[in-house]
Structure 1
Amino acid sequence: MKQWTKEERYRVLHAPDEIIDLHRQIVKSPYRQHYHIQPITGLLNDPNGFVYHNGYWHLFYQWCPWGAVHGLKYWYEVQSEDLIHWINMGVGIKPDHDFDNKGAYSGSALVTEQSIYLYYTGNHRDENWQRTPYTCLVNMRDDGSLHKYSKPLFGPSPNYTEHQRDPKIIYHKENETYYIMLGAQSRDHHGRIIFYKSKTFNKDYEFAGELKVEGYEDFGDMWECPSIEHIGDVDVLIFCPQHLKLKDRGNSIHHNGYLIGHMDYETLTFHHDGSFHVLDFGFDSYAAECCANIGDDNKAVLIAWMGLPDSSYPTDDEDWSGCLTMPRELTIQNRRLIQKPLKGFEDLRQEALPLATKTLPTACELDLHITGALDMQLCKSDDHDGLTIRYEPVHRTITIDRSHMHKRFNIEQGESRMRQLHQDLNHLRIFIDASSIEIYVNDGEALFTSRIFPTKDEHGLVIKGQVEGQIYALDRAVKDNFQF
């Protein structure tokens, strides 16, 4: 694997001809996705600036153009009319000021009557490589042009370490106040969320305080990508605690989850029901971002990075890495989040295949109804069992294991994930793409998202159990074009 120097990782991208040959090379990869957003070159990680405006869904991702490495970060834009079919629009936010000289880090979006505003973390480093994070603002006008404010909205709070990032903009109607929440790290290295507030969305922000979350004062050493989503009659606090281990998560130390409760903006207190819930029980899901404005208070639309910090993947050797999950619909049921595929994905279905099919299409969906125990092998070959799914009715446990794939990676984090269900397993919707799998359990009760990289011989299917259903080949929905 290539060893990157600091100069190579933080090289400034000036023109498309610097990366066009890299794009031509990576689109030949057998692991390029059919219906998942992926980078035109290099590395993709966090989704950012997810918003609906004037008939289009706008979404950005953090992007390092040079290869499968974290370095100088840009925002790259993709766009859709239906949340299913996406096209590449080109480079969005560029790190071209002193306050973001080493990267435009994650953030969110706000729609006003005039246009879209993008809030992000400017990653500044001085000559001694000391970091200063700034919260910055860009106006995206209806002609697609981006206009960066010449000065940040505010700098870091001195009461926390340099780790203050990922601004989430919230407008609270009751007190007519704009809040920006940031993931942060306390001086004694505990994960925190801090708030700034203003009566105006684009200026005059002042430090409002630290979010109080009782019982979670010592829960990881950093909280990334925080947001508060109001769904139905509850508030959902979503965040990514780092450097801690959780039950049934193997040796993984980076997680994405949520608390359900009520947010008090006057006291900056999140009153929760006590339990931290993992958003996704698979191997590869992080940095979830909800769309800023879908016009329905009873649900949300979420998309996440299908990857993890401090992890590597087989396509790293091809100079590209990362993709985003399918967009999911979030609703509340019995004080838990229910995640389902958007209805539009059914429109991608092509020919229907019977369950007796021995070879799976590269991009496909399995819609299965199950009674009793289940033992499945997906992406099986003659000498490898592929990815296995097992359900044991006695304990109501479903287990996903990818240790039997030919290409194994991030082994130290563990290669199996287990979830105990609240009711018997009765339904699975499994979405397979060229290098990923997303398993929706019992109409959204649980979700397993993982990267997989089957070889040309790993496309077999074996199902043992009482199962009925259908397999559908899926059409391509993401245009893999080069757009600078």
Structure 2
Amino acid sequence: MKEWTQEERYRVLQDKSEIAELYEKIQTSDYRQTYHLQPITGLSSDPNGFVYHKGVWHLYYQWCPWGAVHGLKYWYHTTSADLVHWRNEGVGIHPDTIYDNKGVHSGSGFSADDKLYLFYTGNHRDENWVRTPYTCVAELTDQGQLIKHPEPLFGPHPAYTEHQRDPKVVYDKDTERYYILLGAQSQELKGRVLIYSSASLLEGWTFAGELKVPGFEDLGGMWECPSIERINGKDVLVFSPQYTTLPHRGPSTNHNIYLIGQMDFSKLTFTAEGDYRHLDYGFDFYAAQFAANVQEEDKAILTAWIGLPDNHYPTESEDWEGSLIVPRELRIEDNRLKQAPISGLSQLRGEELALDGRLPRVCELELTTTGKDNLDLAFFCQEGDKGGLRLVYDAQEKVCHFDRSQMEQRFNVAIGEQLSVPLEQELTSLRVFIDRSSIEFFFNDGEATFTSHLYPTATETGLKLDQGVQIRAWELKSSVTDDFIV
């Protein structure tokens, strides 16, 4: 694995010609995705600026162009008319001011008064490499021009550590004010959300206080990427607690969870109606973000990074890594989130497939079963049904156990290769979306989900099913341009 110097990681991209050879190189990768967003070169990580504006969905992602390494970050811009078909628009925000001289870090989009605004964390470092995070804003004009506000909205709060980032902007009708939720860490190394407030979107921001979430004061050492959305009269708070292990999640210290409850901005209090739940139970799911300005009140739209901080993946040797999940529609049923792939995704279906024990690298599967019997399934197994990604269902406990330790390409072994998905209902249906380096499971019409990177080799082509499992399969067409637009 390449050892990156600080100079290499934080090199400024001057011209697209500097990465043209790298772009051509990675086009030959066997693991380039077909219908998932991915970087044109280098590394993609957190989704940013996800917003619906004037008939167009805008979605950015964190991008380091030089290779599969976290270094100088840009926002890369993509757009869609339907959340299914995406096109590359080029770099959305450059790190080109004193306030973001070492990276444009995560944030959100907001549509107001026919204008589109992007709120982000400016990562400033001085000559001694001391970090100062600034909360910044830029406007994207209808002509595609980005205009950065000349000064940050505010700098870091001195009562917290340097970890203050990922602004999420919301408007509260009850108080008639705008609020910014900021992921933070207390001096006691506890995860927190800071709240800033203003009557105006572009000025007058003041520190309102710390978000109170009774019962969860000691959960994690940093709350990254806080995002909040109202669905049918209830509020959903999503965040990524770091620096902590959670029950049944192995040694991993990076997670993505949600709470359902009520948000009172006048008291800066989120009152949860029960314990937290995992937003996704898979190995590789992080930094989830709600889309802003979704028109329907009964659902939210969500995306996330297929990956985890500090993890490493096989395509790093090819100088690229990263992908985003298929956007999901979220609704609340029985006081929990139900997640489904975006409804228009069926547009990508080609002909229905007769699998005959072989599993295509790009496809959608629908499996049905009675839910009464134990199951032992394998995806991308070898001849003789050996190996593969194993899914074992315990019908009595209503738990699905995953094991990817038998795949030929193993990675992040120290973080764990076995995880479980607890279900409240018997497992009767399972939708599976397979792309060239990822797999996403939706259990019982979205009762739970499981997302993982997966890198099958030429000998891993099989599908093992138990008797009693019925299956339908479709090939899926490409929906994301991989054009070299910088």
Structure 2 CA distance for aligned equivalents of residues 96 and 295 of structure 1? 34
Task: Compute the displacement of 1:274 (Å).
Answer: 3.2
Q: Which of 422, 428, 437 lines up with 1:435 in the alignment?
A: 437
Does the 8 Å contact 2:54/2:114 carry over to 1? no
Which residue type is aligned with residue 450 of structure 1? S
Report the counterpart of residue 446 of structure 1 in structure 2: 448
Report the counterpart of residue 374 of structure 1 in structure 2: 375
Which residue type is aligned with residue 138 of structure 2? V
Report the counterpart of residue 294 of structure 1 in structure 2: 294
Equivalent runs, 1:320-331 vs 2, <5 Å? 320-331=320-331
Task: Compute the displacement of 1:217 (Å).
Answer: 1.4
Instruction: Give unpaired runs (5+ residues) of structure 1.
Output: none
Task: Compute the displacement of 1:243 (Å).
Answer: 1.1
Task: Compute the displacement of 1:298 (Å).
Answer: 0.9
Structure 2 CA distance for aligned equivalents of residues 257 and 142 of structure 1? 35
Deviation string 1:371-427 (CA, Å, 9 cap, x unpaired) is: 222211111112742111111111111111111110000011111111221111000
Structure 1 CA distance for aligned equivalents of residues 251 and 468 of structure 2? 33
Report the counterpart of residue 481 of structure 1 in structure 2: 483
Task: Compute the displacement of 1:150 (Å).
Answer: 1.0
Report the counterpart of residue 336 of structure 2 in structure 1: 336
**TM-score, normalised with respect to structure 1:** 0.98
Equivalent runs, 1:266-305 vs 2, <5 Å? 266-305=266-305
Structure 2 CA distance for aligned equivalents of residues 228 and 53 of structure 1? 19
Structure 2 CA distance for aligned equivalents of residues 357 and 349 of structure 1? 19
Pair 1:307-2:307 in alignment: yes
Report the counterpart of residue 83 of structure 2 in structure 1: 83
Report the counterpart of residue 389 of structure 2 in structure 1: 387
Does the 8 Å contact 1:47/1:303 carry over to 2? yes
SS in 1 for 2:47: strand
Does the 8 Å contact 1:100/1:122 carry over to 2? yes
Structure 1 CA distance for aligned equivalents of residues 343 and 122 of structure 2? 37
Structure 1 CA distance for aligned equivalents of residues 172 and 25 of structure 2? 47
Does the 8 Å contact 2:223/2:239 carry over to 1? yes
Report the counterpart of residue 46 of structure 2 in structure 1: 46
Deviation string 1:91-115 (CA, Å, 9 cap, x unpaired) is: 0100000010000000001112232
Equivalent runs, 1:52-63 vs 2, <5 Å? 52-63=52-63
SS in 1 for 2:21: helix
Structure 2 CA distance for aligned equivalents of residues 465 and 202 of structure 1? 61
- Say how many residue pairs are matched: 483
Report the counterpart of residue 217 of structure 1 in structure 2: 217
CA RMSD between the two structures:
0.9
**TM-score, normalised with respect to structure 2:** 0.98
Which residue type is aligned with residue 310 of structure 2? D
SS in 1 for 2:374: strand
Does the 8 Å contact 1:41/1:66 carry over to 2? yes
Instruction: Give unpaired runs (5+ residues) of structure 2.
Output: none
Does the 8 Å contact 1:331/1:337 carry over to 2? yes
Task: Compute the displacement of 1:359 (Å).
Answer: 1.7
Structure 1 CA distance for aligned equivalents of residues 81 and 396 of structure 2? 45
Structure 1 CA distance for aligned equivalents of residues 42 and 403 of structure 2? 28
Pair 1:361-2:367 in alignment: no
Task: Compute the displacement of 1:346 (Å).
Answer: 1.1
Does the 8 Å contact 1:373/1:466 carry over to 2? no
Between stretches 427-436 and 265-274, larger displacement belongs to: 265-274
Task: Compute the displacement of 1:311 (Å).
Answer: 0.3
Q: Which of 434, 440, 456 lines up with 2:458 in the alignment?
A: 456
Between stretches 376-385 and 161-170, larger displacement belongs to: 376-385
Task: Compute the displacement of 1:168 (Å).
Answer: 0.3
Which residue type is aligned with residue 367 of structure 1? E
Report the counterpart of residue 32 of structure 2 in structure 1: 32
Aligned structure 1 segments of 4 or more residues deviating by more than 6 angstroms: none
Report the counterpart of residue 68 of structure 1 in structure 2: 68
